[in-house]
Chain A
Amino acid sequence: MTLLELAGVSVRFGGRAAVDGVDLEVAEHETVCVLGPSGSGKSTLLRVVAGLQPVSEGRVLLGGADQARVPAHRRGVGLMFQDHQLFPHRDVGGNVAFGLRMQGASRAAQQARVAELLELVGLPGAGRRPVSSLSGGEQQRVALARALAPSPRLLMLDEPLGQLDRGLRERLVVELRELFTRLGTTVLAVTHDQGEAFALADRVVVMREGRIAQAGTPLEVWQRPASEFVARFLGFDNVVPATVSDGSAVTPWGEVPVPEDSPRGDHRLLVRPAGVRLAADGLACEVESRTFRGAHVALRLRPAGGPALEAECDLAGAPAPGDRVAVAFAPSEVVVIPASQAP
């Protein structure tokens, strides 16, 4: 069942549209992640749903009910702020209990729920600690517990792990995913980190300049970016104009094999770095730089014609900068991006 529905939602600041005609549905128990660079309007979208930002156009429906006249404090949604916004004058327990107090829960019920949630987020017995004594990761957990405590029907997370260090982030993202699955929480999160989005979400929505550029499962978005923007935002830089015909395409890099079902005509073409393979024969390139990436080596190649190419190869036998190599393209890693959707 659809819990949240946005229909043609626009938010304009002066003449600029921060959110521009967005349609979005989030089903119950689903985790949707809005992914986009800063300034793409994703945080504004959360504020719209929370009722903190009035819309210029469009409707917001929660459980089928129009929220136009419902103020923020009656929407029954949870929002975890980017920088947590814990109340500095209350201790950890006071922060977590805040929403319960607003609901008028009894003191005993509050205490029980606070203890339960602190246990849940891995901070048992921290109720009396002042928030100023918390580390970044602990603050994040307390903010999560505070948002979860009143059992919101929709939990929204604004850059939930943005300020944490990498190791913690990777651990927490798994924990969050498990937690939301276990609790059956409906989650709408925004992030600029694709790794975070793909790890967390059932469905990913990529935003650009206030519009939805692509929506789909993480796999779909990863495998078939809908536009050059999405491809580049996901970190793929091997994008060139191409004229596609049967089984191959003409590009500045020469002829590139494409998958069977690719659309014909003038389009854009993406080659994922894994699809650029060192070969005995093929496009002649000079190695510009080499970056060690753990399991593989990322190469930046300067071909004889066309823009620079990113490639991946094994550690063993990786060429050094300045070396001359030849590359061939693997059709399985080539995606034709239809020109009609390429902004």
Chain B
Amino acid sequence: MAVPLAFFGLFFAYPVAAIVGRGLKTDAGWQLGRIGDVLAEPGIAGVLWFTAWQALASTALTLLVALPAAYVFARLDFPGKQVLRAVVTIPFVLPTVVVGTAFLALVGRGGLTQELWGVRLDTTVWAILLAHVFFNYAVVVRTVGGLWAQLDPRQEEAARVLGAGRLAAWRQVTLPALAPAVAAAAVMVFLFTFTSFGVVQILGGPSYATLEVEVYRQTAQLLDLSTAAVLTLVQFAAVAGILAVHAWTVRRRETALRLVDPARTAHPPRGTGQRLLLGGVLLTVALLIVLPLGVLVERSFDTPGGYGTGYYEALSRAGSGGGTFLVPPLEAVRNSLEYALAATGIALLVGGLAAAALTRRAGPFVRGFDALLMLPLGVSAVTVGFGFLITLDEPPLDLRTSWLLVPLAQALVGVPFVVRTMLPVLRAVDERLREAAAVLGASPLRAWREVDLPLVRRALLIAAGFAFAVSLGEFGATVFIARADRPTLPVAVARLLGRAGDLNYGQAMALSTVLMLVCAAALLVLERLRPDKTSGEF
């Protein structure tokens, strides 16, 4: 537990504290009165209210749309399932800015829906909610579906035999078993949408702003560090509150579940109901996920002179886009992959250790630690990135010029995923299996390697996939700390989008498409790596 604690102390608590200190502390001491002043502003109260209710609405909507999909992915077999699973994960790894832009192209001015039906949804809250569902669909499908696939269907059959109807059996047996995973997914979605930045920035127009957008505006545009610091604290407190509620509601720990081989729980759809459900899920995926991505790809080829690869060709030239880049934008692909791999390694190490520690111990301290691990998801990434810059710049921690700085910041967001994904499965491993290994002569470490690791390998791979994906797509912090000559893909996209002109817009679309393809490729590799049989050891 020491390693994760040190990691979070050094690379999270310290920078955030420093930036808050810088905003609220003057030569005359702490200016805590600022907190009251800022909160009294009517605009800020509006921001707070909007942030909370849109997050709640987005979470509810996401659960509503994605839970059936979690079932379909867990329990039904259909052709193209693996590819589809990767497809629904793509939005999650796209930079929020690109998601915003893709939806702008879909439902915004001059967008597809306006061309077809004259409907415009941008500057309405619906566009934001839709983009949030698009974005977080995979969180629910993967977190809940991953566990669902391993639940023994015979438990439900036992309930059916005891006289429970199909729905009652699901409610009485499967739902309680899934509840920790559903709660974990819901909290994640709520946190993401609560701290939503790029999506709201682009689709919200001037009328809608979340806390994170406001923090960014105050920091980067108005240079009002003290207001930003107050808002960071407010967001921090709110997130801490959410996590406390979460810790309180799921105090009831995951019971030891009967985990079975996921390959054996899935079956081809049977009956009209299941076929309708599969059809509905496929339609949802097509409309909600494939369509915006398709529009994005379409725009990347839509050059002024008709469809062509002009934008892609421009990407490989240094100095294209009027001096936006010191290196060809395509370089960003390699940078991104290297950073993301390193970040995944760090996140797996730190998150794995933390999850193992959380499995073995209990008590209020551990619950607090559990919640602490989630905080980086809720604290303004802008603040973290800016904090890195002002704290990790002097010996012995002068990392400003080190390439490690970026993976460290990215790993910070990856760790919560690793912990959230690993914890339910680790806790579900029967303690007596470890004891059986011990009695047969396995040391605790060996028992972990021989028993826990094979049983959670699947979860570990999913966790790695998540960590890799969020590292690849991380934007808020990276934009502050990535060196000008080593931009990551999202940073490069944002730089292109920030400049006027069709060429830049087109290149941004093209580069987003490249990022999408990189993610898709990486995810497909992961899907391949997933062992189809848990008993594939021998």
A contacts, CB < 8 Å to B: 47, 50-52, 71-79, 81, 83, 85, 87-91, 93-94, 98-99, 102-103, 128, 130-132, 146-147, 150
* Other-chain contact of A128, B439, B455, B534, B538 (Cβ < 8 Å): B538
* Other-chain contact of A85, B261, B436, B454, B455 (Cβ < 8 Å): B436
CA separation between A130 and B264, bound complex, in Å?
Answer: 13
When C-beta atoms are compared, the residue in chain B nearest to A130 turns out to be B535
Subset of 5 A-B contacts with CB under 8 Å = A50-B438, A52-B438, A79-B439, A81-B436, A131-B535
Interface-lining segment among B78-86, B199-207, B388-396, B440-448? B440-448
Contacts of A51 in B (CB 8 A): 438-439
Contacts of B435 in A (CB 8 A): 47, 50, 52, 72, 79, 81, 85
Decide if B430 is an interface residue (CB 8 Å cutoff).
Answer: yes
Contacts of A85 in B (CB 8 A): 430, 432-433, 435-436
- Contact flag A102-B454 (CB < 8 Å), given A89-B537, A90-B537, A132-B261: no
CA separation between A130 and B260, bound complex, in Å?
Answer: 12
User: In the complex, given contacts A72-B435, A78-B440, A91-B535, what are 7 additional A-B residue pairs having Cβ atoms less than 8 angstroms apart?
Assistant: A50-B438, A73-B437, A73-B439, A78-B439, A89-B535, A91-B538, A146-B440
A234, chain B: closest CB distance, angstroms:
30
Decide if B398 is an interface residue (CB 8 Å cutoff).
Answer: no
Contacts of A94 in B (CB 8 A): 537-538
CA separation between A79 and B537, bound complex, in Å?
Answer: 24
- Contact flag A73-B438 (CB < 8 Å), given A88-B534, A130-B535: yes
Contacts of B436 in A (CB 8 A): 79, 81, 85, 87
Please determine whether B440 and A102 come into contact, CB atoms closer than 8 angstroms: yes
When C-beta atoms are compared, the residue in chain B nearest to A98 turns out to be B440
* Other-chain contact of A98, B430, B443, B450, B535 (Cβ < 8 Å): B450
When C-beta atoms are compared, the residue in chain B nearest to A76 turns out to be B441
Decide if B382 is an interface residue (CB 8 Å cutoff).
Answer: no
A-B contacts counted at CB < 8 A amount to: 91
* Other-chain contact of B538, A47, A90, A150 (Cβ < 8 Å): A90
A93, chain B: closest CB distance, angstroms:
7
Q: Is the interface of A mostly helix, strand, loop or mixed?
A: mixed
Decide if B451 is an interface residue (CB 8 Å cutoff).
Answer: yes
Contacts of A91 in B (CB 8 A): 535, 537-538
Please determine whether A93 and B538 come into contact, CB atoms closer than 8 angstroms: yes
Please determine whether B534 and A89 come into contact, CB atoms closer than 8 angstroms: yes
CA separation between A150 and B446, bound complex, in Å?
Answer: 17
B117-163 contacts to A (CB < 8 Å): none
- Contact flag A99-B441 (CB < 8 Å), given A89-B454, A89-B537, A90-B535: yes
CA separation between A89 and B430, bound complex, in Å?
Answer: 13
**Proximity bits, B509-538, A CB within 8 Å = 1, else 0:** 000000000000000000000000011011
Please determine whether B442 and A50 come into contact, CB atoms closer than 8 angstroms: no
Contacts of B440 in A (CB 8 A): 73, 78, 98-99, 102, 146-147, 150
CA separation between A151 and B535, bound complex, in Å?
Answer: 26
CA separation between A91 and B259, bound complex, in Å?
Answer: 16
**Considering the complex of A and B, which 3 residue pairs feature the smallest CB-CB distances, nearest first?**
A102-B441, A99-B440, A72-B438
Contacts of A131 in B (CB 8 A): 535
- Contact flag A71-B537 (CB < 8 Å), given A81-B432, A89-B455: no
- Contact flag A87-B451 (CB < 8 Å), given A77-B439, A146-B440: yes
Please determine whether A73 and B261 come into contact, CB atoms closer than 8 angstroms: no
When C-beta atoms are compared, the residue in chain B nearest to A86 turns out to be B436
A100, chain B: closest CB distance, angstroms:
9
B contacts, CB < 8 Å to A: 259-261, 430, 432-433, 435-444, 446-447, 450-451, 454-455, 534-535, 537-538
B447, chain A: closest CB distance, angstroms:
8
CA separation between A90 and B260, bound complex, in Å?
Answer: 13
* Other-chain contact of A73, B260, B430, B442 (Cβ < 8 Å): B442
CA separation between A128 and B437, bound complex, in Å?
Answer: 20
CA separation between A130 and B261, bound complex, in Å?
Answer: 11
Contacts of B454 in A (CB 8 A): 89-90
A99, chain B: closest CB distance, angstroms:
4
- Contact flag A73-B535 (CB < 8 Å), given A87-B436, A89-B455: no
CA separation between A130 and B438, bound complex, in Å?
Answer: 22
B195, chain A: closest CB distance, angstroms:
38
CA separation between A103 and B534, bound complex, in Å?
Answer: 25
* Other-chain contact of A150, B441, B444, B447, B537 (Cβ < 8 Å): B441
Contacts of A78 in B (CB 8 A): 439-440
Please determine whether A73 and B441 come into contact, CB atoms closer than 8 angstroms: yes
CA separation between A98 and B260, bound complex, in Å?
Answer: 21
B360, chain A: closest CB distance, angstroms:
14
Please determine whether A103 and B535 come into contact, CB atoms closer than 8 angstroms: no
When C-beta atoms are compared, the residue in chain A nearest to B430 turns out to be A85
When C-beta atoms are compared, the residue in chain A nearest to B454 turns out to be A89
CA separation between A102 and B446, bound complex, in Å?
Answer: 9
When C-beta atoms are compared, the residue in chain A nearest to B446 turns out to be A102
Please determine whether B442 and A87 come into contact, CB atoms closer than 8 angstroms: no
* Other-chain contact of B443, A71, A83, A146 (Cβ < 8 Å): A71
When C-beta atoms are compared, the residue in chain B nearest to A47 turns out to be B435
CA separation between A52 and B437, bound complex, in Å?
Answer: 11
CA separation between A192 and B440, bound complex, in Å?
Answer: 25
A267, chain B: closest CB distance, angstroms:
44
B265, chain A: closest CB distance, angstroms:
12
CA separation between A73 and B448, bound complex, in Å?
Answer: 13
Contacts of B537 in A (CB 8 A): 89-91, 94
CA separation between A85 and B443, bound complex, in Å?
Answer: 17
Contacts of A79 in B (CB 8 A): 435-436, 439
Please determine whether B439 and A50 come into contact, CB atoms closer than 8 angstroms: yes
Contacts of A73 in B (CB 8 A): 437-444, 446-447
Contacts of A74 in B (CB 8 A): 441
CA separation between A18 and B363, bound complex, in Å?
Answer: 23
CA separation between A47 and B434, bound complex, in Å?
Answer: 13
B364, chain A: closest CB distance, angstroms:
18
CA separation between A256 and B444, bound complex, in Å?
Answer: 61
Please determine whether A103 and B538 come into contact, CB atoms closer than 8 angstroms: no
Contacts of A147 in B (CB 8 A): 439-440
CA separation between A201 and B92, bound complex, in Å?
Answer: 63
CA separation between A265 and B443, bound complex, in Å?
Answer: 58
CA separation between A93 and B261, bound complex, in Å?
Answer: 19
When C-beta atoms are compared, the residue in chain A nearest to B259 turns out to be A88
- Contact flag A88-B455 (CB < 8 Å), given A81-B432, A94-B537, A132-B261: yes
Contacts of B432 in A (CB 8 A): 81, 83, 85
A172, chain B: closest CB distance, angstroms:
20
A67, chain B: closest CB distance, angstroms:
13
When C-beta atoms are compared, the residue in chain B nearest to A91 turns out to be B538
CA separation between A78 and B438, bound complex, in Å?
Answer: 10
Contacts of A81 in B (CB 8 A): 432, 435-436
Contacts of B451 in A (CB 8 A): 87
B283, chain A: closest CB distance, angstroms:
36
- Contact flag A87-B439 (CB < 8 Å), given A130-B535, A132-B261, A132-B535: no
CA separation between A81 and B440, bound complex, in Å?
Answer: 12
A146, chain B: closest CB distance, angstroms:
7
